[in-house]
């Protein structure tokens, strides 16, 4: 499993980014000193820093959370099917809802 420090170092190297580049790309969520501390293994990281790293390094926020060892919040954003799902028949939509129900039931166990 990749640690957050390893992820940040690898992405900075791959994208040829300085600490300041990452801070700027985070949109003000991170300072270069915070990025440096994270890359050196800072033990705790705030949600704001996770969001800033995901934005700055252009990686999914879930990947950053996993690397930081942070569980995903229990309250997820509402899930909305893409527009193209409107082309599904009524029977196909019922199958999709059945799959969702089965996944939620499996998750509860």
* pLDDT band, very low/low/confident/very high, at 72 (cuts 50, 70, 90): low
Total domain count, the chain? 2
Q: Taking residues 32-36, what's their average pLDDT? A: 96
| Residues 33, 53 share a domain | yes
Task: Compute the distance between CA of residue 48 and CA of residue 26 in angstroms, rounded to an integer.
Answer: 10
> Is a pLDDT exceeding 60 seen at residue 34?
yes
Whether residues 14 and 42 share a domain: the answer is yes
Count CB neighbours of 101 within 10 A. Answer: 10
Assess whether pLDDT exceeds 60 at residue 66.
Answer: yes
Report the pLDDT value the prediction gives residue 109, as an integer from 0 to 100. 73
Question: Would the pLDDT of 60 be above 80?
Answer: yes
Average pLDDT of every residue of the chain: 90
Q: Are 57 and 18 within one domain?
A: yes
Q: Would you say 30 and 49 are in contact if contact means Cβ atoms under 8 Å apart?
A: yes
- What residue has token string 């799902």? 85
- Per the domain annotation, does 73 fall within a domain? no
Query: Per-residue pLDDT averaged across 64-85, rounded?
Result: 80
User: What does the block give as tokens for 89?
Assistant: 């028949």
Q: In this structure, are 64 and 83 located in the same domain? A: no
Give the pLDDT score at 28.
92
């Amino acid at each position: 499993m990749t640690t957050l420090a390893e992820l940040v170092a690898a992405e900075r190297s791959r994208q040829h980014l300085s600490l300041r580049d990452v801070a700027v790309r985070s949109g003000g969520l991170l300072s270069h000193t915070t990025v440096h501390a994270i890359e050196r293994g800072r033990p705790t990281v705030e949600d704001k820093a996770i969001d800033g790293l995901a934005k700055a390094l252009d990686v999914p926020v879930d990947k950053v959370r996993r690397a930081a060892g942070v569980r995903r919040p229990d309250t997820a954003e509402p899930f909305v099917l893409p527009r193209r799902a409107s082309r599904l028949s009524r029977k196909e939509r019922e199958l999709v809802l059945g799959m969702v129900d089965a996944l939620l039931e499996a998750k509860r166990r």
